[in-house]
């Protein structure tokens, strides 16, 4: 496919002004930003383009926009209308991003195009001119870029599992009582790695070795106190802190840090991997034990296996000390005392097993409730909350109109749909999401979009626990509607958090910016 050329400069004067965007991921160091800049500048010189600004994301993965501050700044600058360039030069499609959803890559380019800024891929064999051919080729290349990341992730994981089976350590700090030792490809020792240090040669490997003798003795004492003396983790932590002993991070011991020492197989020399998955920058997933990759006797043990497995038996017995009958009896007594049951009530009652124990033992909390004769009645509090939301909505819409008008924007409200038309440029829908609590005690919000009205932008107001005032805001473009309903929790994937704002100053400013662009 022959690539068309922009007009050549006349009399040595540039015809266009452009910004350049470069990105180097940690996985692909051969695509250095310097090489990208050189190719982009060559392209610009041949076509009479003057590069006036550089946006660079160095060492940033292309899987998501979170953390890519330069790209975020580029889009923000472009949409502000205050830039002095008319195009953005990028090395190729993959440098723009290896998003797992090809539509996400297209969306960020569309935001530039909507603001009148063209995105040009300098090393691609097609002109990004909006023609059907270029659209098809871009779609294919975006999909290939995302698929490359998926295939690479699979290959890297397989390689890491193989190294684990050979007895080599894969990432993470050594932990208290242990140290990381760098070895070459023959297994010969090279140097001990300090915290934060990494190997420099691809052929080098890392193994765990016992740390200083005083730390090893502390680990052995922890097991002795727990197994022989019957001390709890909290009591052991208190004893260590009173002796002035600190963790490997220089902090005081806690019940959790002592518990971690007691359950980690690395202290008996086992190399365990894949306990938690975090592939392709998605949510962390805790894997079941049958998915773990384990190599026994990979490192020198600093705790006797007999002591380690005795400690595991004590921990398991402690968590299973209640029979089903005992669990139900405790739950029945709690119900008779409180006249109601919930995950929050169970977890906050001293001496009660956690709600997760009931859910795991009986399949669900509702099933456990049924066994003690408690039938959760429908919570009619939502009726009053919804009434309050209906009263709040007109006030929020009116406040939004006033705020944008004060910034120089014009707002027209449709009395039938409550859609706002800002400067006759885009339509906005405002929805309220009430705060709810699950049986586990976690908060969540369900957002329902007016997809039938097809607004260009939806402002979702997430309310606080009292449902009396706004907690934060989510701005959703119409292009991102994959589902008319979205459920948010207290912690959400980064892809969703990209749309969150603590206040609506950014949204209010859009009115003024669109007014300025129209005036220009």
Provide the sign of the torsion angle of the four alpha carbons 374, 376, 381, 383, taken in this order: negative
Decide if pLDDT at 137 tops 80.
no
Q: For residue 516, what pLDDT is reported?
A: 44
3-state secondary structure of 87: strand
pLDDT tier for residue 513 given thresholds of 50, 70 and 90: low
Radius of gyration of the chain (CA): 30
Q: How far is the C-alpha of 110 from the C-alpha of 79, rounded, in Å? A: 11
Output the CA angle 209-215-221, nearest 5 degrees. Answer: 115
Q: For residue 352, what pLDDT is reported?
A: 72
Q: For residue 256, what pLDDT is reported?
A: 75
Q: For residue 19, what pLDDT is reported?
A: 92
Q: For residue 18, what pLDDT is reported?
A: 92
Q: What is the DSSP string of 182-223?
A: EE-TT--EEEEEPTT---SSTT-EEEEEE--HHHHHHHHHHH
Looking at 192-196, 263-267, 431-435, which range is the least confident one? 192-196
Average pLDDT over residues 221-243: 89
DSSP label at residue 374: -
What's the whole-model pTM score?
A: 0.41
pLDDT tier for residue 2 given thresholds of 50, 70 and 90: very low
Q: For residue 217, what pLDDT is reported?
A: 93
Q: What percent of the chain has pLDDT over 70?
A: 70
The packing angle between helices 213-227 and 305-319, to 10°, is 40
Q: What percent of the chain has pLDDT over 90?
A: 9
Decide if pLDDT at 240 tops 90.
yes
Q: For residue 214, what pLDDT is reported?
A: 92
Report how many helices (DSSP H) and strands (DSSP E) the chain contains, helices first: 16, 20
Average pLDDT over residues 288-298: 71
Question: What does pLDDT average to over the chain?
Answer: 76
In sequence order, what are the residues at sequence separation of 6 or more whose Cβ sits closer than 8 angstroms to the Cβ of residue 447?
431, 433, 460, 462, 474, 485, 486, 487, 488
Looking at 169-173, 175-179, 383-387, 402-406, which range is the least confident one? 383-387
Average pLDDT over residues 263-288: 66
DSSP label at residue 288: P
pLDDT tier for residue 151 given thresholds of 50, 70 and 90: low
Highest mean pLDDT among 200-204, 455-459, 510-514: 455-459
Which tens digits make up the pLDDT trace of 491-500? 877 667 767 7
List b or e across 507-517, with b for residues whose CB sees 16 or more CB atoms inside 10 angstroms: bbbbbbbbbeb
């Amino acid at each position: 496919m022959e690539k068309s050329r922009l007009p050549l400069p006349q009399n040595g004067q540039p015809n266009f002004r452009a910004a350049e965007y470069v990105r180097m991921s940690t996985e692909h160091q051969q695509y250095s930003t310097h090489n990208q800049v050189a190719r982009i500048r060559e392209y610009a010189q041949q076509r009479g383009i003057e590069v006036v600004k550089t946006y660079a994301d160095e060492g940033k993965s292309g899987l998501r926009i979170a953390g890519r501050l330069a790209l975020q700044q580029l889009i923000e600058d472009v949409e502000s209308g205050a830039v002095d360039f008319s195009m953005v030069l990028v090395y190729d499609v993959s440098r723009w991003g290896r998003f797992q959803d090809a539509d996400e890559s297209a969306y960020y380019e569309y935001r530039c195009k909507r603001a009148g800024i063209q995105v040009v891929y300098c090393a691609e064999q097609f002109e990004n001119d909006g023609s059907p051919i270029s659209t098809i080729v871009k779609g294919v290349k975006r999909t290939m870029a995302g698929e490359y990341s998926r295939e690479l992730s699979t290959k890297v994981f397989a390689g890491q599992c193989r190294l684990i089976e050979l007895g080599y350590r894969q990432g993470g700090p050594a932990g208290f009582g242990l140290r990381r030792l760098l070895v070459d490809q023959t297994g010969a020792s090279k140097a001990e790695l300090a915290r934060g240090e990494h190997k420099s040669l691809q052929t080098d490997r890392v193994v765990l070795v016992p740390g200083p003798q005083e730390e090893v003795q502390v680990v052995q004492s922890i097991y002795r106190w727990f197994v022989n003396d019957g001390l709890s983790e909290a009591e052991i932590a208190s004893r260590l802190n009173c002796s002035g002993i600190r963790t490997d991070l220089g902090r005081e011991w806690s019940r959790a840090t002592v518990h971690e020492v007691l359950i980690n197989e690395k202290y008996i020399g086992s190399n365990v991997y894949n306990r938690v998955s975090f592939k392709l920058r998605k949510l962390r997933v805790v894997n079941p034990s049958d998915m773990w990759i384990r190599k026994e006797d990979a490192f020198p043990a600093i705790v006797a296996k007999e002591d380690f497995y005795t400690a595991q038996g004590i921990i398991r017995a402690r968590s299973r000390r209640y029979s089903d009958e005992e669990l139900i009896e405790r739950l029945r007594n709690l119900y008779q005392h409180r006249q109601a049951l919930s995950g929050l009530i169970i977890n906050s009652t001293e001496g009660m097993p956690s709600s997760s124990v009931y859910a795991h033992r009986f399949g669900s909390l509702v099933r456990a409730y049924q066994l003690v004769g408690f039938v959760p009645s429908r919570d009619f509090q939502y009726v009053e909350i919804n009434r309050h939301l209906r009263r709040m909505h007109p006030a929020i819409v009116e406040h939004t109109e006033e705020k944008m008008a004060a910034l120089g924007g014009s707002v027209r409200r449709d009395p039938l749909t409550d859609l706002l038309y800002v400067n006759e440029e885009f339509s906005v829908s405002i929805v309220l999401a009430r705060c709810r609590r699950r049986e586990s005690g976690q908060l969540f919000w369900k957002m329902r979009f007016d997809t039938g009205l097809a607004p260009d932008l939806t402002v979702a107001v997430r309310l606080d626990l009292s449902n009396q005032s706004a907690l934060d805001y989510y701005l959703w473009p119409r292009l991102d509607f994959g589902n008319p309903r979205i459920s948010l929790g207290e912690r959400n994937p980064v892809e969703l958090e990209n749309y969150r704002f603590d206040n609506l100053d950014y949204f209010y400013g859009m009115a003024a910016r669109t007014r300025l662009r129209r005036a220009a």
